[in-house]
Amino acid sequence: MPTSSEPLAPWRSPLARALHRNRSLLYSRYLQLATVTPDGLPACRTVVFRGFREGTNQLQVITDRRSQKIQHIAHQPKAEVCWYFPKTREQFRLAGHLLVVDKDNCDPNLQAARSHLWQTISDAARSQFASPPPDQPWEPNQPVIPASPDTLMPLDTFCLVLLLPDRVDHLELRGNPQTRHHYTYDPHNGWAALAINP
């Protein structure tokens, strides 16, 4: 598993290019996170890319501790994200280990990353972490959501989730023939790249 002073992975450059070329579309930072439920069934939802953790190849997303994906990750920490870029017609699939950084995590660097993200999100996004529990039946008279929770200290429900990729698949649909590259990480040799059939 890559450490926190890791060199830039070879897929970072094509991914940075895709992010740049699709930057006019706000939703080009939305990707789909697939997990496995405790029953062994697939689950998939849209999440927002919150940048890489500084000095690493770890993708950051945020989630509510009460959301179902937290239970999925506790059962099976392996995940795959699928990231489609509409403008450049390319897809990245990144598979790896998920690490949930909640309020009880003792690593000061990870807590700093969690606090930093809390400070960068909007008031509306922060408010969601104080709202009634997700996935529960909606009731008409629920507690009022505080307009703006503390901007410095994350609420207990706020979690940072890190994806530590060990396999990346990059498919480019433009061009004839289409091209596809596969990157795999090995703890001894680092990242290796291979062109495969699309």
Give the distance from CA 151 to its chain's centroid. Answer: 22
Applying CB under 8 A, among 9, 61, 79, 164 the residue interacting with its own copies is 79
Does 62 contact its own copies by CB under 8 A? no
Does 189 contact its own copies by CB under 8 A? no
Beta strands in 24-109, from DSSP E residues, in sequence order: 30-36, 42-48, 59-64, 78-85, 90-101
- Contact predicate 93/85, CB 8 Å: no
Q: Which is nearer to its own copies, 25 or 153 (CB)?
A: 25
Does 65 contact its own copies by CB under 8 A? no
Does 16 contact its own copies by CB under 8 A? no
Q: How many CA atoms lie within 13 A of 16 on its CB side?
A: 8
User: Who contacts 86 (Cβ-Cβ below 8 Å, separation ≥6)?
Assistant: 22, 25, 28
Does 88 contact its own copies by CB under 8 A? no
String of contacts with its own copies for each residue 127-166, x by CB under 8 A = -x--xxxxxxxx---x--x---------------------
Of 82, 85, 98, 88, nearest to 31 by C-alpha is 82
- Footprint of its own copies on this chain (CB under 8 A)? 25, 27, 30, 32-36, 40-46, 76, 78-82, 84, 86, 91, 93, 95, 124, 128, 131-138, 142, 145, 176-177, 179-180, 194-198
